[in-house]
Structure 1
């Protein structure tokens, strides 16, 4: 099979070259349009339930809200763990499911259990809400807003009713958390002395106001040819209209709300605060959806914010768009890694030329680097794997390995062609290239699979470590296999195209002529003192093993993004 594959690649070398060029072009297009992320999705399969309970203490939240929710979802299929956090006015319950389960089915099961729960919760508590799916990196972008005139009420209104809905409409945005500012609300502040003076209870005020603002269906009027729906109008909406509400009638006189309370707009009691460069403002944390690409979503958000610039100027709002932007870290990492890959490729090319002393052979071997890496990236992208730091790390590790197969094949072909040129009865070049490739093909295939198998254990890890490091192993293994494919198909075709035109010298390259005597002397000394060398190697291995317990260990290196 391998013999036929090599023979076909030599015979149809033009087609092979065309296909390689198309792969590079298509791969370049996919890489240019692909999104980038910081890490792969490594968060466990979990569903977070949040319930607001204004006025309740942490103990009351735990007993009246968190515990009923935990009991309601207990026994769900694939449920592994349930945890809750109860603070003043807020309950957060986290349900963790098995890794092999379907996350969307888990959310559906939880929602079905929560559907009948509100009747068992306190009347003042809100309904349990399943939070939107968010990515492992969570925050895609953090931005800030300042009001030039210091009006935090208007600033929060613009944020809640204009900016947040616009950001939520962007594909890939799961939620927008708003901190700081003052939420505008119409407040009725009752005066206890006036209640006592008019002999009115607080519950009477609450009931009267509730009845006044309740939306009621008024039915319809039906005639011979149409039906007209009735709608109740005249409900109070402004402070003046609320002040005119009649709370009760006593001794022939109306007691209005204005006599019992002050009505006006004011800020809601704050639940959070934010400052930007020492000035009070609003912080917006944009949360990415599960599986969304951080870099792509960040750029869409920035485009939306750019479209809102006229509004910011009109409202006197200062925008701080880059308080925290993980995409900066991604772009910096990719740029640096790309530069290192190019530099590594250049060093490989220089090294190959120094040892082979032939520019064409160096180019043939060096071409395995871009083809192998691009081929691996294309396969990953086609299978829906986003590019991230771990994938790029796997490709960087494979940089020195992907060229090995091509070097072995190219060097043997080059040597056999030189010998054939010096022969009295030279054979056809395609036959020489075919024979030279088959000579080393077995060892190349075995070595490639052995190197790839070293990273297979990464694919068997479970938990967070498995989800985090599996893409690194996948990228490395794919790059090695693509380098093997390149050596099998492209290297013989390129050798036939570039190495069959001239005659070379049978003598070794200058660098090899300098190194061989040194290596011969060193090898002779090692053979004579084999026991000493073996004992030194054994001692070094023992020392290395003894030093392992003293190493500090971390799950991830320090990231200074």
Structure 2
């Protein structure tokens, strides 16, 4: 389930190559829209990230941390903000939350719930396929903050080494590349202490030699022969256009279409996206689509919980058989599991019909609760039968004598779960509330039906005669000895 963190992380991305001044103006406009909402307390913006940052970004990208006031209606806030942000031209705005934002980035490398990754060899073909995938996803209900990765051609200065000319001066391509890097990017050669602070001393060409293509072409470089020559004598310098970024994953080029989900559950939204993309987008040869994000980890967790549920049912059956030494009796106790599932499923349907990981954990917990109720009844039936009570009296009397203990334990557990079940809107209860709702619903149905269904089943299929425990142990030992 989605977290309720009491804060937002708003990602603002405009066209690559946008100046710092224009990007800052767009960021201020987004902040003004945020602060104009009554549910927002304050904002804090970061414009771009340093080149050596782990997640480097250009000045065309900004991240805004938003603190919300208590009791704000998030669904209403998100809807209003998205409507306001849609009026900002050439800008993609993604709304998330701090923890969820980092989880999304860890799972898929994007800042959204869903990441549709298109892989292929040609960047320009990738952009066209990505645009078609984005257009197809726009038709899916529940898709919000839809964004195609910002890739476009930007002006570039391309320096291509002239190997023949370089050979005349005894220079290699590697030496020229290192010289160009030092001349225009700079190299730290020492540190300077000033007023108690340490500053790097960087050596590089002065600004007038880095101002334009003509100045760069005229830059003088040392060669191994001792001569100083202009860069234009060692390489061909041209002004062209090229991609602003090239994204790769597992050595393959990719482009990403990302989106969040609003007003729907994640699983059904992803299923509709996969269906629509398969129907409307024809992929060229050598291109393929991979779906990533939260739903991927949710699917993995669902499979693990499903396997653990089967293992828990098998373990419960083995424990019951070891206790009662009867397959029939163990099966009668296990009949309580469907009774608990009825209430759990009904509770999920009444609260929105979304089965999350927390709900699945609640269903697994119900297995133990339902089995406990069955053990209380069946064990008492068998005790009365072992004491010599008639079968009908054992079932009726055993049910009446175990009614109070079963109701008391169910009532205690139910009262403890009610605060968790009704506190879903509070931060920190996102996982506890769906689990409590499932357990509470299953507890009600299992307790009510257990007192009606299990006595009837035992009357029809139960063992009419039960040996005392010491005689059962002796008989079991004799059987084992005979088999051996």
Name the counterpart of 1:170.
140
State the distance in 2 between where 1:337 and 1:377 align.
17
Name the counterpart of 2:461.
498
When residues 275 and 111 of structure 1 are mapped into structure 2, their CA distance, relative to the original with a 3 A threshold, is closer
When residues 166 and 51 of structure 1 are mapped into structure 2, their CA distance, relative to the original with a 3 A threshold, is closer
Q: 1:139 aligns with which of 113, 117, 135?
A: 113
State the distance in 1 between where 2:91 and 2:147 align.
18
State the distance in 2 between where 1:305 and 1:68 align.
34
**Higher normalized contact order (CA 8 Å, seq sep 6+, divided by chain length):** 1
State the distance in 2 between where 1:382 and 1:320 align.
36
Q: How far apart are 1:439 and its partner, in Å?
A: 0.8
Q: Equivalent residues in 2 for 1:549-560 (5 A)?
A: none
When residues 444 and 509 of structure 1 are mapped into structure 2, their CA distance, relative to the original with a 3 A threshold, is farther
State the distance in 1 between where 2:84 and 2:128 align.
35
State the distance in 1 between where 2:150 and 2:83 align.
34
1:145 and 1:319 in contact (8 A); partners too: yes
Matched, 1:467 2:435: no
1:176 and 1:286 in contact (8 A); partners too: yes
Matched position secondary structure for 1:387: coil
Q: 2:303 aligns with which of 335, 339, 345?
A: 335
When residues 462 and 57 of structure 1 are mapped into structure 2, their CA distance, relative to the original with a 3 A threshold, is same
State the distance in 2 between where 1:478 and 1:509 align.
40
Q: How far apart are 1:72 and its partner, in Å?
A: 5.3
Name the counterpart of 1:443.
405
Q: 2:266 aligns with which of 274, 294, 319?
A: 294
Q: How far apart are 1:176 and its partner, in Å?
A: 4.1
When residues 359 and 436 of structure 1 are mapped into structure 2, their CA distance, relative to the original with a 3 A threshold, is same
Q: How far apart are 1:382 and its partner, in Å?
A: 3.0
1:73 and 1:113 in contact (8 A); partners too: no
Q: Equivalent residues in 2 for 1:82-481 (5 A)?
A: 82-87=43-48, 88-98=59-69, 100-107=71-78, 110=81, 126=89, 131=94, 138-147=112-121, 150=122, 152-160=123-131, 162-179=132-149, 182=152, 270-279=243-252, 281-307=253-279, 311-313=282-284, 316-322=285-291, 324=292, 326-417=294-385, 419=387, 422=388, 429=392, 432-455=394-417, 458-459=420-421, 460=423, 464-481=427-444
State the distance in 2 between where 1:496 and 1:67 align.
75
- In angstroms, what is the RMSD of aligned CA positions? 4.1
Matched position secondary structure for 2:434: helix
Q: How far apart are 1:408 and its partner, in Å?
A: 0.4
Matched position secondary structure for 1:404: helix
Name the counterpart of 2:447.
484
Q: How far apart are 1:490 and its partner, in Å?
A: 1.8
2:4 and 2:425 in contact (8 A); partners too: no
Matched, 1:507 2:468: yes
Name the counterpart of 1:243.
none
Q: How far apart are 1:349 and its partner, in Å?
A: 1.9
State the distance in 2 between where 1:392 and 1:339 align.
12
1:61-108 deviations in whole A, cap 9, x for unaligned?
54x444455355436333334232323234454544346333343246
State the distance in 1 between where 2:446 and 2:341 align.
8
1:203-234 deviations in whole A, cap 9, x for unaligned?
xxxxxxxxxxxxxxxxxxxxxxxxxxxxxxxx
Matched position secondary structure for 1:143: strand
2:3 and 2:427 in contact (8 A); partners too: no
Query: TM-score, structure 2 length as denominator?
Result: 0.63
Gaps of 5+ in 2: 49-58, 105-111, 156-238, 477-484
Name the counterpart of 2:37.
76
Query: TM-score, structure 1 length as denominator?
Result: 0.55
1:42 and 1:468 in contact (8 A); partners too: no
State the distance in 2 between where 1:54 and 1:80 align.
31
State the distance in 1 between where 2:305 and 2:467 align.
40
Gaps of 5+ in 1: 1-38, 119-124, 188-265, 516-561
When residues 356 and 42 of structure 1 are mapped into structure 2, their CA distance, relative to the original with a 3 A threshold, is same
Matched position secondary structure for 2:72: coil
Q: How far apart are 1:52 and its partner, in Å?
A: 3.7
1:49 and 1:128 in contact (8 A); partners too: no
Matched position secondary structure for 1:466: coil
